[in-house]
Amino acid sequence: MLTAASEQSARAWLAAALRDGCLPADAGLQDVGQLLDAAANEGVVALLESRLRGGPDWGALPAALREGLADGARAAAAQWLLRERELRRIAEVFAHANIRVLVLKGSALALWLYPQPYLRMGGDIDLLFESRGEAERAAQALKALGYALAFAPAETHFEMTSRLVVDGVMRSELDLHYRLLNSAAYADIFGFDELWQEASTQQATGEWLRTLAPLHAWIHACLNRALDLQNRIPDRLKLLYDIRLFAARSGRPQWETLCDLAQAKHIAGPCLHSLEDAMQWLDADVPTDVLARMRGLAEVEAIDYRRLGDWRYMQWQNLKSLPTLSARMQWVRERLLPGTHQLRELHGEGGWWTLMMRRIGRGLARLR
């Protein structure tokens, strides 16, 4: 088990190794077990193996570390083959049902942003549909593959989970989104048609499954990190490495378009936050004039990007973003009194009252 101090030390070591592709010059070699655990937690085992194996210090690493990384890379490659097969099965179902869908996050970025898909480790498969009705239709179509919905989400939630369970073991999990982000403050920044018009097809998954255009994927990566901050989900180096790669492949036109779109959508703050973090941890190459413009834009936005991790502040921003009083009342009610199935999904097994007490306890902890 990693302590807070050892976790930060290992994270710094991993970030330096990912950044430079060699042993960190200013840090001693960490405990091998802690490094492997930290790399798994950060989602970068296969990526770290690739970076170090291609550098000058691979032979100088302890044998246990080399073997652990190599085993992890092989496991990630095998996992990707299964994921690619599942993406193709899903594509066939949606093509037959004539359902438009966009692949999001790691499963999409693996297809085009990384040298090899398995280097971008991920868990579930995130899919975006044009409406809740289409997501529900997709969930119905997926039953032919053995998938089943975990629970029916409340009206003010914008995603549902569908799982494939075989002999009591979960084989695949799909997040079916019907907004780009499951947060009222950011839910309507991009419409589905706007994203669909510029989306890309990928040879590995056929013509039916599309991925976000590079610029939209970049912005989504930044907004998704902002949402993780809001929900107090631990940050991971794999997300920052996404930002580093986006920055590395961008020239002046891409940077200018990013700034223009951030200005038009009033999301310079979340974009700036991710750019600065990627610079701090992974030395992402961001032009100074881009940073200056983003900072100027962020200062006049309604949401203070310095408070993205302030849960109370962001809940207030979510509430304010809803258009009517009735929508706001529904949003509050559904968060104060969620259904039993949703409570079990969030807080484990138990009766409604037991789960509500757990929920209240977590809520009070967030207010401290």
Domain boundaries, the chain: 83-212, 214-321
What pLDDT is attached to residue 368?
Answer: 62
Amino acid at 366: R
What pLDDT is attached to residue 366?
Answer: 64
Task: Tell me if 140 sits within 8 A of 68, measured CB to CB.
Answer: no
Query: 237: which 2 tokens?
Result: 């180096």
- For residues 203 and 117, give the distance between their C-alpha atoms in angstroms, rounded to a whole number: 12
CB within 8 Å of 230: residues ≥ 6 apart: 183, 308, 309, 311, 314
Q: Which of 176, 262, 177 is nearest to 216 (CA)?
A: 262
What pLDDT is attached to residue 1?
Answer: 56
What pLDDT is attached to residue 11?
Answer: 94
What pLDDT is attached to residue 344?
Answer: 72
What pLDDT is attached to residue 332?
Answer: 87
CB within 8 Å of 279: residues ≥ 6 apart: 286
Q: Which residues of the chain have pLDDT under 70?
A: 1-5, 26-29, 341, 363-364, 366-368
Burial 296-314 (b: 16+ CB within 10 A, else e): ebbeebebebeebeebeeb
The neighbour count for residue 203, using CB atoms within 10 Å, is 8
Q: Nearest-5° angle of CA 184, CA 185, CA 189?
A: 95
Q: In what order do the strands lie in the sheet with 206-211?
A: 147-149, 159-166, 169-177, 125-128, 102-104, 206-211, 200-202
Give me the CATH code for the 83-212 domain, please.
3.30.460.40
Q: 162 pairs with which residues across the strands?
A: 149, 174
- For residues 223 and 190, give the distance between their C-alpha atoms in angstroms, rounded to a whole number: 12
What pLDDT is attached to residue 367?
Answer: 61
What pLDDT is attached to residue 4?
Answer: 62
